[in-house]
Amino acid sequence: MLEKLEEYHIPQTIAEAVRLLRRRSGGETVAITGAIDLHWWRLQSARRFVDTSRLGLDRIRLDRSGLHLGAATLLADIVTSKVAARFAGGLLVQGALGLASPPRRHTTSLAALLINAVPVVDILPALMALDAKVRVKGARQRTIPLTELFAGKGRTVLDRELLLEVVVPKPRGRIGVALERHALTPSDDPMLTAVATVQLSRGKIARATIALGGGLSVPVRCPKAEAELVGKAPDLGIFACAAHGVAESIHPISDTRCSAEHRRDVCKVIVRRALARAAGREEPR
Amino acid sequence: MSPPVIELHLTVNGESRTFLTQINRSLFDVLRAEGYVDVKNGCLNGDCGSCAVLLNGRPVLGCLVMAPHCEGGEVVTAAGLGRPGDLHPLQEAFLDTGAVQCGFCTPGMLIVAKHLIDTNPDPSEEEIAAALAGNLCRCTGYVKIIDGVKEAARRMRASKARSKARGRRRS
Ligand SMILES: Cc1cc2nc3c(=O)[nH]c(=O)nc-3n(C[C@H](O)[C@H](O)[C@H](O)COP(=O)(O)OP(=O)(O)OC[C@H]3O[C@@H](n4cnc5c(N)ncnc54)[C@H](O)[C@@H]3O)c2cc1C
Ligand code: FES
Ligand code: FES
């Protein structure tokens, strides 16, 4: 494995890590967090690893702008974080628990999930529904909304840039959140996961967000359905209608777990349920 | 050019060790090559949990962690939890409850269970099952493993209560 690897760097500063990542000569350089996804082609062809685990990028903190999750934060640390548990109804903790195996949660970083664009860990649609952005550094520093980060299956728009942190803006006012995951067993990858947030004002929907993960090539937001909900009363019929719209708009995959067609049917149910729960209108099961 | 060789300094089961390893090796590769055969290879894919060890107190999958990443780290394998005649309560309880059949999954189970009990001394059956979700066993059907973890946690709580009471009597 990794037969082409010639150098393993453990930089102590962000500047040094960025300098290493931007070096063009001597073959491909990739950032890792120390653990690896052995099957990943990007790592198999790497000549140089830059281990980002000692850059202090593993902190979780809350400030006025929102929740900051360092790129090297491990999913296990999100699960036990009191700050994360209190933020947005604990949605991110629930998302991190979507990767069921504790030793894998102790080896998987947020950066890796984002860079691999893996939609099957529920934390990605959860972050997307909460309008998260990523801060990255290459020749210069820039901030990219999560909705613009993924360039296709397993690809992002980053170009030899270091992922520094994920910033989740503090929701303005009261927000209802819900995550609905449909899987064969609690520890299996979900066939589909729907995350919804709803903010109500004077009995009407002031803002809603819907994000999907699981059996899609990348996690997605559903802006059309979100816009159509604004100003409507939060009733179950409206949510069922929105869920139909979402199911029509997505491009699910077919795999060993189920067909794309089945995923579309699942979508209609779990988006409706997520919206209803986020709006505090739990439907009878 | 083949991947270069480095010196790797680790504390394994309380003992300071220096290993020579190529930089493309995993922690699992290094430990197995050095005779820590209680670290098992069930898949080398991160799927089965049988290569789990504690790295700086965290349960990690040896097969997915790069060896150079562990430089200066403290590793505990299942054999480091106790020794014959002085077994860890988890090892003892696994024997007493019949949680071991072929034994292949046992080291990984013990490591993950050790981390669970250290962070949650009185886990429910559901919590034990959730903690062991990444560890596969082809023999036991899991029931006796869960019993074993529960029993070990009970014994450890009882022993802690006893030593606390002794401490109070002495003072
Ligand atoms: C058994 C098994 C089960 C799995 N189950 C799931 C599952 O249920 N759900 C799921 O989503 N995935 C699953 N995966 C895939 C998993 O998501 C990947 O293994 C994981 O993303 C790798 O994490 P890592 O921390 O080891 O990342 P690394 O291998 O260190 O990094 C992955 C990628 O991110 C890049 N990167 C890392 N840090 C940075 C940074 N700071 N800046 C820029 N780029 C960076 C690397 O260059 C690399 O391309 C599973 C994998 C295995 C082996
Ligand atoms: S051998 Fe590492 S998880 Fe199976
Ligand atoms: S006892 Fe045989 S695999 Fe678990």
Decide if A121 is inside a domain.
Answer: yes
User: What pLDDT does A97 receive?
Assistant: 94
In the block, residue with structure tokens 């209608």: A241
CATH of the domain at A22: 3.30.465.10
Q: What gap in Å lies between CA B157 and CA B33, rounded to an integer?
A: 37
B126: chain A residues, CB-CB within 8 Å: none
Chain B residues at the A interface, defined by Cβ less than 8 Å, are: 1-4, 6, 23-24, 26, 44-46, 49, 52, 58-61, 63-66, 68-69, 71, 112, 115-116, 119, 130-131, 133-135
Instruction: For residue B102, give the ligand 3 atom closest to its CA.
Output: 2
What's the structural domain count of chain A?
2
User: Quick one: A92 and A208 in the same domain?
Assistant: no
pLDDT digits (tens, 9 = 90+) for B87-127: 999 999 999 999 999 999 999 999 999 999 999 999 999 99
Q: What gap in Å lies between CA B24 and CA A32, rounded to an integer?
A: 13
User: What pLDDT does A42 receive?
Assistant: 67
Last residue of a domain, one of A170, A200, A233: A170
User: Quick one: A108 and A225 in the same domain?
Assistant: no
User: Quick one: A116 and A249 in the same domain?
Assistant: no
| Threshold 0.90, pTM exceeds | no
User: Quick one: A158 and A181 in the same domain?
Assistant: no
Q: What gap in Å lies between CA B66 and CA A49, rounded to an integer?
A: 10
Last residue of a domain, one of A170, A197, A213: A170
Q: What gap in Å lies between CA A211 and CA A137, rounded to an integer?
A: 26
Decide if A29 is inside a domain.
Answer: yes
Contact B59 A5 (CB under 8 A): no
Decide if A284 is inside a domain.
Answer: no
Q: From B53, which residue of chain A is nearest by alpha-carbon distance?
A: A103
Decide if A285 is inside a domain.
Answer: no
The complex scores an ipTM of: 0.92
User: Quick one: A46 and A93 in the same domain?
Assistant: yes
Minimal-distance CA residue to ligand 1 atom 40: A163
Joined tokens for residue A228: 């159509």
Mean confidence (pLDDT) of chain A: 93
Q: Which of residues 211-270 of A touch B (CB under 8 A)?
A: none
pLDDT digits (tens, 9 = 90+) for A115-149: 888 788 899 999 999 999 999 999 999 999 999 99
Decide if A62 is inside a domain.
Answer: yes
Mean pLDDT of B66-73: 97
pLDDT digits (tens, 9 = 90+) for B112-123: 999 999 999 999
Last residue of a domain, one of A132, A154, A170: A170
User: Quick one: A148 and A217 in the same domain?
Assistant: no
Decide if A122 is inside a domain.
Answer: yes
Domain encompassing residue A241:
176-278
Instruction: For residue B138, give the ligand 3 atom closest to its CA.
Output: 3
Among the partner residues B23, B58, B61, nearest to A5 by beta-carbon distance? B23
- Is-contact A194 A231, C-beta < 8 A? no
User: What are the phi and psi torsion angles at A128 (to 5°)?
Assistant: -65, -40
CATH of the domain at A208: 3.30.390.50
User: Quick one: A89 and A75 in the same domain?
Assistant: yes
Percent of chain A with pLDDT over 90: 80
- A4 burial (CB, 10 Å; 0-12 / 13-18 / 19+) is middle
User: Quick one: A82 and A207 in the same domain?
Assistant: no
Q: Which residues of B13-38 are buried (b: 16+ CB within 10 A; e: fewer)?
A: beeeeebebbbbbbbbbbbbeeebeb
User: Quick one: A137 and A180 in the same domain?
Assistant: no
Contact B66 A32 (CB under 8 A): yes
pLDDT digits (tens, 9 = 90+) for B1-23: 799 999 999 999 999 999 999 99
User: What pLDDT does A26 receive?
Assistant: 74
Mutate which of A108, A155, A159 for ligand 1? The one with the most ligand atoms within 8 Å of its CB, which is A108
Instruction: For residue B28, give the ligand 2 atom closest to its CA.
Output: 2
pLDDT digits (tens, 9 = 90+) for A39-76: 566 678 889 999 999 999 999 999 999 999 999 999 99
Mean pLDDT of A159-188: 94
User: What pLDDT does A203 receive?
Assistant: 94
Percent of chain A with pLDDT over 70: 97
User: Quick one: A120 and A148 in the same domain?
Assistant: yes
Joined tokens for residue B9: 């300094």
User: Quick one: A154 and A137 in the same domain?
Assistant: yes
CA A83 to chain centre: 18
**Can you state the angle between helices B143-170 and B89-97, rounded to 10 degrees?**
140
Whether residue A283 has pLDDT greater than 90: no
Decide if A245 is inside a domain.
Answer: yes
A5 — contact with chain B (CB < 8 Å)?
Answer: yes
User: Quick one: A115 and A180 in the same domain?
Assistant: no
Mean pLDDT of B74-90: 96
Decide if A283 is inside a domain.
Answer: no
Q: Residue A23: left (phi > 0), alpha (psi -120 to 50), or beta? A: beta
- Is-contact A270 A178, C-beta < 8 A? no
pLDDT digits (tens, 9 = 90+) for A258-272: 999 999 999 999 999
User: What pLDDT does A30 receive?
Assistant: 87
Mutate which of B37, B63, B132 for ligand 2? The one with the most ligand atoms within 8 Å of its CB, which is B63
Contact A3 B65 (CB under 8 A): no
User: What pLDDT does A45 receive?
Assistant: 84
Minimal-distance CA residue to ligand 3 atom 4: B137
B76: chain A residues, CB-CB within 8 Å: none
Query: What long-range pairs does A18-26 form, CB within 8 A, spacing at least 24?
Result: A18/A137, A18/A138, A18/A161, A18/A162, A20/A48, A20/A50, A21/A50, A21/A138, A21/A160, A21/A161, A21/A162, A22/A138, A22/A139, A22/A160, A23/A48
Of A160-169, A217-226, B81-90, B157-166, minimum mean pLDDT range: B157-166
B46: chain A residues, CB-CB within 8 Å: 38, 104, 107
